[in-house]
Structure 1
Amino acid sequence: MPRPNGYSINSAPSDDSEGDEPLIETDAVPPQCCSARFNLAVLMSLGFSVVYALRVNLSVAMVAMVNTTDPTPVDNRSIFHACPLLPGRENTSNTFQQPERTPQYLWDSETQGWLLGAFFFGYLITQIPGGYLAGHYGGRVFLGLGVLITAALTLLTPLAAQFGSYWLFALRALEGFGEGVTFPAMMAMWARWAPPLERSRLISLSGSGANFGAFLALPLTSYICQTLGWPAVFYIFGAAGCVWSLFWFILVSDDPQTHRRISKEERDYIINTIGSQGTGHGWSVPVLPMMLSVPLWAIIITQMCSNWAYYTLLTSLPTYMNDILHFDLQSNGFLSALPYLGGWLFTVLSGAIADSLIERNVFSITIVRKLFTLTGMLLPAVFLVAVGYSGCSHILTVTFLTLSTTTGGASGAGVFINQIDIAPRYAGFLLGITNTFGTMPGVVAPIATGYFTEDHTLEGWRKVFWVAAGINIGGALFFAIFGSGKIQPWADTEEQRAEAEKNTNRSNSECQQQHATVT
C-alpha cells in the first residue's frame, strides 16, 4: 500500500522523514484492543509487576525484620537534626508489634544496605547471556523461567534470614540471577512482535508493570507485615509469581507465526511491518562494531545515570520515611508507593504520545527519544533537589517525591526503548548490555545511601538527593548530544545489505546513463 510520501505499510519509518501525513493508513492497521500483541503487553506488564514486587518487598519488610533501624545509639547531633516524632509516637520506639513468634534481627544500617543491594550482584551476571540467548531462540522461555525461578527462591527468604544475613545475601543474589534475563527477553520478544509504529506504546505498557508492581507491593507489604508477620510477605508474593508463570507458558508464543490464537490479519500486519528485522540474530553478533557504537554508549551511560536515582528511591525510600519522617509502617508503605503510581500512569501515557508523534511525522524517532529522555530525567532531578530542602514537611516531601517519580516515567518512551530503534534484531542482546551497566547503580546506590545517612540526619539525605539529581542531569545531556534513533549499519540484515547494494548499483547505473545522454 504505497503512500504519497514514500512510506508503505510494509516498511519501518525512516528517522529522517518529514511531512504531515500519517505513515500508514489507519484502516490498514488491525485494532489493538484485544489483539494478540496487546494481550502480550498486558501479560508482560503483569509479569513485571510481580517481578518488581519480588524485588522491592524486602525494602519495606526490612523495617519489620530488624529489631531497630540501627542498634547503635545515635549521638546528640543526629537527634538534634532529625525531624520530630509525629503526635502519638513520642513514647514509642522504632519497633512495632507483630504476630507472636515473628523473628526479628539486629542488623545495622550497613548490613541492611548490603542486603538491599545483594539482589543486583546476581542480576548483573545474567543480563548479557540472557539477552543473547533470547535473541537467538526467542524470549518466551527465558522470561517465564526468570520469573518462576525468582518467585520460587523468594519462598525461601524466611528460612535464609533465620540462618543469618550471609545466607539471605546469597539468596537475594540468586534471585537477581534468575530475574536478570527478564528484561532482555522482553525486548527480544518485542523485536518480533512490535510493529515499528507501535513500539513506544507496547514496550512502555510492558515495562510500566515495574512501577505498578512497586506501587502495589509497598503498601501490601506493610499491611501483611502488620497482620500476618513479615515471613508471609515472601510466601504470598512468591506464590503469585509461580501462578503468573503458569499462565505465561500456556498463553504466550515466541512470535506471531507460532501463536495459535492470533488472527491472520494481525499476523500478516506484524510480519510485514517488521520485515527481516523480526528474525533471530543467529549465533554471531557484531561485537566490535557494537563496542565502537556511539549511540549504544549513549544508551548505556544515560541508563546508568537514570537508574541511580530510580534505585536510590526504590530501595531506600521506606527507610527515609521511617528514619526521618517517622511514618508508621502502614503509612510508610502507602506513601512510599504513591510515587510509583504516577510513574506507571506517565509511562503508559508517554508511550502513546511518542508513537503518535512518530506516526504523524511531527518529529523524527531521534528527536522523540531525546525529547522524552530529557523530560524524564531533568524534571525528576529538579524535584529530587526540592525533596532535600523540604525539611520535615511531610506534605512537601511526599509531593516532590511523587512528582519526581511521575515525571521520570517519560523516559520509558525515550532511552529505555532506544535499543530497538538502533538495532531491532539485536535488541534483546543490547538491552542485556545496557541493563548490565544500568544495574550497577543498584549495587552502589544503596551502599552509598547507607554511607551518607549513617547518622540519620537531614543533611545526609540531602547529599543523597543532590548526588542522584546531578547524575541524572549529566546523563540527560549526554543522550541529548550523542543519542540516535537510526538503525545502525552493523544492525542491517543480509537482505537489507543486498537491497541497499542493489539500490546503490541502480543509482550509479542511472547516473551513468544520464551522463551518457548529456554527452
Structure 2
Amino acid sequence: MDEKPSTRKSPEFCSLRYGLAFIMHFSNFTMITQRVSLSIAIIAMVNSTQQPGLLNTSTERPLAFTFNHSNRSIREFKTAEVSVYEWSPETQGIIFSSINYGIILTLIPSGYLAGIFGAKQMLGAGLLISSLLTLFTPLTADFGVILVIVIRTVQGMAQGMAWTGQFTIWAKWAPPLERSKLTSIAGSGSIGCVCCLLWFTVIYDDPLHHPCISIREKEHIVSSLAQQSSSPRRSVPIKSMVRCLPLWAIFTGFFSHFWLCTIIITYLPTYISSVLRVNIRDSGVLSSLPFIAAASCTILGGQLADFLLSRNLLRLITVRKLFSSLGLLLPSLCAVALPFVASSYTTTIILLILIPGTSNLCDSGFIINTLDVAPRYASFLMGISRGFGLIAGIISSTATGFLISQDSVSGWRNVFFLAAAVNMFGLVFYLTFGQAEIQHWAKERTLTRL
C-alpha cells in the first residue's frame, strides 16, 4: 500500500485537488477583477484634461447635437457627464494604492491564524466581503475621495484574508511535484458570491477530512507529504527567519515583481488612453489582453516547471531560479523598450501584453519558494512575502502618479526605467541567495506518516 501512491498517481483532472485549484482560480480571478475595475472606470470618472473650461464645453456640446446625431452624441454626452471627479494623478495614485494598505494590515495575522485554525473560513469570508464592498464602490465616489479610499482599504483587508490562506491549503493538498502546476492554475486569473457558495460547500482544509475524496488520491497526497511537518505549531521561529538569507531572497523577489506588476495592473488603462489615445471602450478591451496572456503564461509555466522536476531534468533550485530569471528579466526588457516604440501602436500593444505574461513566470519561481524552504510556515511566510510586494505596490503607484503628473512623456519613461532597475536588483539578490532546501528551523517537531 505504501508503494502504490508513488508509482500510480491518481487521475489528475478528475481529482479533488484539481477541482480545488479551479475553484480557487475563479476566486482569484474575481478578486483581481475587483481590483482592476476601478482602473478602467476611472478614465471615464476623471477629467483627464484638468481644465474646467474644457469640461464645461464637452458637457454642453453634445446637448446641442443630441436630437440630430442620436447615437454618437448620446455616447459622447454620457462620457462627458460622468467625468465629474477632479482627481489629480497624485490622488489617483493614492486611490490605487489604498487597497494595498488594507492587504498589508491583514496579511501577516491572517496567515498565522489560517495556519492554526484552518484557511477555509478565512478565504471564503474574505472573498464575500470584498465582493460586497465592490458593489458599494460606485456609490461612495459621490461622497468624496476619502470614503473611496476607506472602502478600498477595507476591501484590501478582506482580500488579504483570502490571498494568504491559500498557501495553508496547498501545503496540505499539493504533492511536491505538482505544486507549480496547482498553484499556477489557482492563481492564473486570477462571480464572487457564487464562488463563496462553492467554497464553503465543497472545500475542506485538508484531504484527510474530505468526505468525497477517493482512497487512491488521498494516499497519493498523504504519502507525497509524508516527510514534511504535520504537527500543529504554537510558535514561529522569528529570529531564525530574520537571519535566513533564502527568505530575504524571496522577499526581495516579491518586492521587485510587485513593483512592475502593480503599475501594469493599475495604470495600464490610463497608459493606453493617454499615450495611445484610445477611447474608453477599446481601452477596456485592450487592457484585458495582457491579463489573458498572464493567465496563459502562468498555467504553461507551472506545467513546464513540474515537467522538468518530474523528469529529473533540472534540480528544484535550478527550476526556481530559471523561472524567476525569466519572470524578472523579460518584462524588464519590454518595459525599457516601451518609451522608444510609443509611436508604433502595434508594437506597444505587443510589449504591454508581454510584460504581465512573462512576469507571471515568477509564479513557478520564488512565488512558491516558501513551500520549498519552509512548508510548515508557508502561509505565514506568504503573508510576509506579499507584504513586501504590497509595500512595493504602494510606493510604485504613488511614484507613478507623481512622475506622470510632472511630464507625461518623460514621466512614463522614468516609470518604466525605474521598474526595470528594481527588477534587476531583485533578480541578482535572488540568484545569489535563493535556495530550495527545507531550512533547519522548519524541520523541528516533524512527524512522519506511516
Asked if Structure 1 and Structure 2 have the same fold, meaning a TM-score greater than 0.5 normalized by the shorter chain, the answer is yes
Aligned to 2:206: 255
Compared with structure 1, are the counterparts of its residues 379 and 257 closer, same or farther at alpha carbon in structure 2 (3 Å cutoff)? same
**Residue 243 of structure 1, CA deviation:** 2.1
Distance across 1 between alignment mates of 2:372 and 2:4: 18
Distance across 2 between alignment mates of 1:495 and 1:168: 47
| Paired residues for 1:253-402 under 5 Å | 253-275=204-226, 277=228, 279=230, 281-402=232-353
**Residue 97 of structure 1, CA deviation:** 3.5
Match among 54, 78, 88 for residue 108 of structure 1: 88
Aligned to 1:16: none
**Residue 438 of structure 1, CA deviation:** 1.0
User: Does the aligned pair in 2 maintain the 1:110–1:451 contact within 8 Å?
Assistant: yes
User: SS at 2:40's partner residue?
Assistant: helix
Distance across 2 between alignment mates of 1:34 and 1:45: 16
The answer on 1:71 being equivalent to 2:22 is no
Query: Which structure 1 segments of 5+ residues have no match?
Result: 3-7, 11-23, 75-91, 211-239, 500-519
Q: Which amino acid aligns with 2:263?
A: T
Regions of 4+ moved over 6 Å? none
The answer on 1:46 being equivalent to 2:32 is no
Aligned to 1:55: 35
**1:3-56 per-position Cα deviation (integer Å, ceiling 9, x unaligned):** xxxxx777xxxxxxxxxxxxx53xx11111120000000000000000101111
Q: Which amino acid aligns with 2:144?
A: G
Match among 166, 178, 181 for residue 161 of structure 2: 181
**1:63-116 per-position Cα deviation (integer Å, ceiling 9, x unaligned):** 1212x1141589xxxxxxxxxxxxxxxxx99x9443898583222222111111
Q: Which amino acid aligns with 1:178?
A: A
User: Does the aligned pair in 1 maintain the 2:177–2:309 contact within 8 Å?
Assistant: yes
Distance across 2 between alignment mates of 1:471 and 1:100: 38
Compared with structure 1, are the counterparts of its residues 243 and 104 closer, same or farther at alpha carbon in structure 2 (3 Å cutoff)? farther
Q: Which amino acid aligns with 1:159?
A: L
User: SS at 2:50's partner residue?
Assistant: coil
Q: Which amino acid aligns with 1:146?
A: G
User: Does the aligned pair in 2 maintain the 1:51–1:179 contact within 8 Å?
Assistant: yes
**Residue 145 of structure 1, CA deviation:** 0.9
User: SS at 1:389's partner residue?
Assistant: helix
User: Does the aligned pair in 1 maintain the 2:115–2:379 contact within 8 Å?
Assistant: yes
Structure 1 length as normaliser, TM-score? Answer: 0.79
The two structures, once aligned, show a CA RMSD in angstroms of 2.3
User: Does the aligned pair in 2 maintain the 1:139–1:254 contact within 8 Å?
Assistant: yes
Distance across 2 between alignment mates of 1:343 and 1:71: 33
Aligned to 2:148: 168
User: Does the aligned pair in 2 maintain the 1:346–1:407 contact within 8 Å?
Assistant: yes
| Paired residues for 1:103-502 under 5 Å | 104-210=84-190, 240-275=191-226, 277=228, 279=230, 281-495=232-446
**Residue 493 of structure 1, CA deviation:** 4.0
With 151-160 and 36-45 compared, the bigger mean Cα shift is at 151-160
User: SS at 1:362's partner residue?
Assistant: coil
Q: Which amino acid aligns with 1:195?
A: P
Q: Which amino acid aligns with 2:208?
A: Q
User: Does the aligned pair in 2 maintain the 1:122–1:176 contact within 8 Å?
Assistant: yes
Structure having the higher Rg: 1
Compared with structure 1, are the counterparts of its residues 344 and 421 closer, same or farther at alpha carbon in structure 2 (3 Å cutoff)? same
Distance across 2 between alignment mates of 1:429 and 1:185: 9
Q: Which amino acid aligns with 2:325?
A: L
User: Does the aligned pair in 2 maintain the 1:452–1:460 contact within 8 Å?
Assistant: yes
Distance across 2 between alignment mates of 1:33 and 1:39: 8
Distance across 1 between alignment mates of 2:239 and 2:76: 56
**1:226-250 per-position Cα deviation (integer Å, ceiling 9, x unaligned):** xxxxxxxxxxxxxx31221111101
User: Does the aligned pair in 2 maintain the 1:281–1:425 contact within 8 Å?
Assistant: no
Identity between Structure 1 and Structure 2 (%): 37
Structure 2 length as normaliser, TM-score? Answer: 0.91
Q: Which amino acid aligns with 1:71?
A: Q
With 248-257 and 451-460 compared, the bigger mean Cα shift is at 451-460
Q: Report the number of matched residues.
A: 430
